[in-house]
Amino acid sequence: MKTRLQKIIAEAGFASRREAEQWIADGKVTVNGQIVTLLGSLADPAVDKIKAKGKLVPPPEEKAFLILNKPPSCLTTTKKDARGRATVMDFVEKVPVRVFPVGRLDYNTQGILLFTNDGHLARKLLEPKYQMERVYQVKVKGIPDEKKLKRVGKGIRLDKIPTAPIKIKVFRTTGKNCILTMTLTEGKNRHIKRVCEMIGHPVIKLKRTHFCKLNLTGLPLGSCRFLSPREIKSLYKAVSHSV
């Protein structure tokens, strides 16, 4: 079926739709060896040979969605680690279609990580404007007082840029330390660890329990599962107000 070129490139995970449009306008996209510069041009990804910036755009695969309960001491990358460390791809290697992680979790952070081969949806889920909630259980040193919790709740400046407000509360205390529940709608580099360090309560252990409407119920550490049709529908619905 013929589809707009920029959509084909975006859904293959090569670029956002806007970036793909710019590539087309700049003459960096070919269809069957012919440069295409007209926005709105159509092609059939199952039949036509499409290249973007010299790289072949693969034909579409059946859409796949799964979640992994990522263990700690594991890299979020699609490449082999030069030092031989485990990567998240080691845990989805038996999945019969090519998938990639949506966003990332730090090396020692465990918890829910979404995988898909729908590049267009993946990009939308990570865009701040859609405010996809990520919920974490965070074990920290000490017990922050109400003043510190309110400070985090209003948003803290990282690299001189204010973060979005964070929902935060004490889930339970464990002796001199405690476990916080933190809900974010954006994901900056080492976001939670840096925020907790700024209020004087370094992170001991970090686990993401929810991403968008998805959770880890019944999924052991290091295991993955495909999403149900209802869960897949909820992801598309979450970004359905796009323009």
Q: What would the mean pLDDT of 181-193 be, rounded to a whole number?
A: 90
Interval 132-185: pLDDT, tens? 999 999 999 999 999 999 999 998 888 888 888 999 999 999 999 999 999 999
Report which of residues 14 and 24 the model is more confident about. 24
212 near 125, Cβ under 8 Å? yes
Catalytic-role residue among 106, 118, 145, 159: 106
- The reported pLDDT for the residue numbered 28 is 95
Tell me how far CA of residue 236 lies from CA of 16, 62, 132, 213, in angstroms: 17, 16, 12, 11
- The dihedrals phi and psi of 60, each to the nearest 5 degrees, come to -65, 145
**Is this model's pTM higher than 0.75 or not?**
yes
Task: Give yes or no for residue 50 having a pLDDT over 60.
Answer: yes
Please say if 106 is a catalytic residue: yes
SS percent in the chain: helix, strand, coil, step 5: 25, 30, 45
Backbone dihedral region for residue 112 (phi beyond 0: left; psi -120 to 50: alpha; all else: beta): beta
Interval 220-234: pLDDT, tens? 999 999 999 999 999
